[in-house]
Amino acid sequence: MLTRDFLMKADCTTAFGAIEASLLWSAEQRAASLAATLACRPDNGPVWIFGYGSLMWNPALNYSESVTGTLVGWHRAFCLRLTAGRGSACQPGRMLALKEGGRTTGVAYRLPDDEIENELSLLWKREMITGCYLPTWCKLALDDGRTVNALVFIMDPRHPLYESDTSVQVIAPLIARASGPLGTNAQYLFSLEQELQKLGMPDDGLNELIHKVRLLVGGVNPPGLA
């Protein structure tokens, strides 16, 4: 289970599994990325984080408010080769990211004004281990009618772990087989399915993948979804 306490104590060189040294970002690189992102902050209003994957059911953040919302212009795609966490170099899986086009529903979290840098530092330790995402400020339509600027982690297509082929026949067997220190790749997919159902956010683009992976792992959800 990826908990807040785990993230605070984690040694990034070992906690998530064996990560190729050339890909692993140092604490200094993460800090520089965070500083650059904050320098591009579009306004002095509240900082919102948009969760479209595990941040929806396991944010591990201190936040003042959470609201469901929709991001236009991007869609979910398992386009990140997963070699740590819930996969390994010898049995890689696929992790969720965002690719251009379509729309994505998820959960937005407003960070407390006096804890922004501490919370973002923890978030960078979780999401930017290899610098695979482009942290981007995007307009987000909240379901309560507000429009906010939210920080969104979008896949960097120039990253060595980026995979352009996200066809079900390619990625379903990878997700069904992969596992690592944080659990199985299939657990992640089924947790995503459960959370989307709970929030009333159907994502039809995932249905075929979920069905195929469930067949490959034996037709049942693995225990301990988190």
Which residues, 6 or more positions from 168, have their beta carbon under 8 angstroms from its beta carbon? 208, 209, 212
* pLDDT for position 12: 85
Which residues, 6 or more positions from 204, have their beta carbon under 8 angstroms from its beta carbon? none
Whether 208 sits among the annotated catalytic residues: the reply is no
Q: Is residue 223 part of a domain?
A: no
Q: Is residue 56 part of a domain?
A: yes
152: phi > 0 → left, psi -120 to 50 → alpha, else beta; which? beta
Full-model pTM: 0.92
d(CA 48, CA 42): 12
Render pLDDT for 4-62 as a digit per residue (tens, 0 to 9).
998 888 888 887 888 888 999 999 999 999 999 999 999 999 999 999 999 999 999 99
* pLDDT for position 219: 59
d(CA 38, CA 117): 9
pLDDT: is 156 or 218 the higher one? 156
Can you give the residue range of the structural domain that contains 189?
Answer: 4-218
Q: Is residue 147 part of a domain?
A: yes
Domain count within the chain:
1
Has residue 222 got a pLDDT over 60? no
* pLDDT for position 36: 98
Q: Is residue 81 part of a domain?
A: yes
Residue in 119, 127, 163, 195 annotated catalytic: 127
Q: Is residue 225 part of a domain?
A: no
Q: Which long-range contacts (CB under 8 A, 24 or more apart) does 159-164 make?
A: 159/80, 159/130, 159/131, 159/132, 160/23, 161/23, 161/80, 161/81, 161/82, 161/83, 161/130, 161/132, 162/79, 162/80, 162/81, 162/132, 163/79, 163/80, 163/81, 163/94, 164/79
**Scanning the structure block, which residue is given the tokens 């729309």?**
103
Q: Is residue 43 part of a domain?
A: yes
Q: Is residue 145 part of a domain?
A: yes
Q: Is residue 226 part of a domain?
A: no
Has residue 224 got a pLDDT over 50? no
Task: Give the pLDDT mean for 84-100.
Answer: 95
Render pLDDT for 122-145 as a digit per residue (tens, 0 to 9).
999 999 999 999 999 999 999 999
Closest CA to 140 of 126, 154, 150: 150
* pLDDT for position 10: 85
Render pLDDT for 187-220 as a digit per residue (tens, 0 to 9).
999 999 999 999 999 999 899 999 999 999 985 5
CATH number of the CATH domain containing 78: 3.10.490.10
